[in-house]
Amino acid sequence: MADAGRPHGSDKDSLGNILKVAISMCLVCSIVVSTAAVVLKPLQEINKELDRKQNILRAAGMLPQDSKRAADGRGIEELFAEFDIRAVDLDTGSYVDAVDVTTFDPIKSARVAALSRELTVDEDIAVIGRREKVSLVYVIAGESGIEKLVLPVRGYGLWGTLFGYLAVEGDLSTIAGLGFHQHKETPGLGGEVDNPAWKALWPGVALFDDAGEPAVRLVKIRSPESNSDARFEVDALSGATLTTRGVENLVNFWTGELGFGPFFAALRTDLQQKSGDRD
Ligand SMILES: Cc1cc2nc3c(=O)[nH]c(=O)nc-3n(C[C@H](O)[C@H](O)[C@H](O)COP(=O)(O)O)c2cc1C
């Protein structure tokens, strides 16, 4: 026998040796994985931030859906620099200056009882459970007022919450675009929210009816252009009624009284005052 005469303690296949090797391997691997996680974290944060900017620009129609450059050659950072990021108190509609908008995360706030409000079943048409007290808005303002406004929106579809951005034109009542950067809907069904052809149906749609109430409707058959309801309508997603209903509800929730409604009202008052001053 080859092992004859070898002292029992030096057996390399012994349980002690196997455990030593296994533990050393685990230790080395965990050090490699945690070092990689720590070293790559800043890079991941930069990429996440770039992705957020890209999604906002795409919703606003300032960046093509399939490119990282605008037609005039400007890149994401240059285009995004046009936006002013502001925090808004959703209950009053006023700007809040005591918030660092570069680090503030409204979604995280929504999970904290003191920083959010619980919605009743009747209020919660977007099925988000809690709504943050303060959110962020992305504004491009010119001499005559707001030119473009982008709002973070979210709501439940069929399989989970859809997170996106709704862009609004300077008239504060016409949609400039809508895009979702995170959702769990089925590709080919609810996942068609990402289809550029469907997204192209949103610009120009009217947000509010004559009474100022959110009025967007996702419909299987659109009204004739001559019908005044046609301005609120977007095609439903075929075979995805639940996602469709979720999208309609989330748009109307975030533009309504419990969402950015008070902010829209404050902006309209501001706009009226400015035009009054000019007259
Ligand atoms: C595997 C699978 C995935 C589905 N994914 C979605 C989805 O992402 N969004 C959705 O609204 N419906 C989805 N549905 C369909 C819903 O269960 C439901 O039938 C549908 O929303 C009804 O839409 P319709 O009235 O247009 O047929 C899925 C169904 C199956 C079997």
pLDDT grade for 1, boundaries at 50, 70 and 90: very low
pLDDT value at 9 more than 60: no
Render pLDDT for 207-247 as a digit per residue (tens, 0 to 9): 999 999 999 999 999 999 999 999 999 999 999 999 999 99
Ligand 1 atom nearest to 186, measured from its CA: 8
Q: Cα(first)–Cα(last) distance of the chain, in Å?
A: 107
pLDDT grade for 120, boundaries at 50, 70 and 90: very high
Choose the residue to mutate in 159, 189, 218 for probing ligand 1, maximizing ligand atoms within 8 Å of C-beta.
189
Strands 130-132, 116-118: pairing kind? antiparallel
pLDDT value at 125 more than 90: yes
- Supply the pTM of this predicted model: 0.86
Mean pLDDT computed over 253-271: 95
Instruction: Work out the burial of residue 232: count CB atoms within 10 Å of its CB; fewer than 13 is exposed, 13-18 middle, 19 or more buried.
Output: buried
> What does each C-alpha distance from 242 to 86, 222, 237 come to in angstroms?
33, 18, 9
Counting residues of the chain whose pLDDT is more than 70, the rounded percentage is: 96
Mean pLDDT computed over 37-48: 86
pLDDT grade for 6, boundaries at 50, 70 and 90: low
Structure confidence at residue 2 (pLDDT):
47
Nearest residue by C-alpha to atom 15 in ligand 1: 240
Structure tokens at 101: 């908008």
SS3 192: helix
Q: How far is the CA of 157 from the centre of ligand 1 (A)?
A: 10
Ligand 1 pocket, CB under 6 A: 158, 185-186, 189-190, 239-243
Strands 217-219, 233-235: pairing kind? parallel
Structure confidence at residue 10 (pLDDT):
59
Nearest residue by C-alpha to atom 3 in ligand 1: 186
Question: Torsions phi, psi of 33, nearest 5?
Answer: -65, -45
Mean pLDDT computed over 88-114: 96
pLDDT value at 72 more than 90: yes
DSSP state of 232: G
Q: When comparing pLDDT for 43 and 278, which is higher?
A: 43
Q: How far is the CA of 230 from the centre of ligand 1 (A)?
A: 26
Strands, sheet with 95-96, edge to edge from the N-terminal-most edge strand: 95-96, 84-89, 134-142, 145-156, 161-169, 175-182
pLDDT value at 192 more than 60: yes
Structure confidence at residue 8 (pLDDT):
55
Structure confidence at residue 206 (pLDDT):
98
Mean pLDDT computed over 124-151: 96
Average pLDDT of the chain, as a whole number? 93
Ligand 1 atom nearest to 159, measured from its CA: 8
Mean pLDDT computed over 62-74: 92
Structure confidence at residue 124 (pLDDT):
98
pLDDT value at 181 more than 60: yes
pLDDT grade for 7, boundaries at 50, 70 and 90: low
Structure confidence at residue 19 (pLDDT):
92
Nearest residue by C-alpha to atom 13 in ligand 1: 240
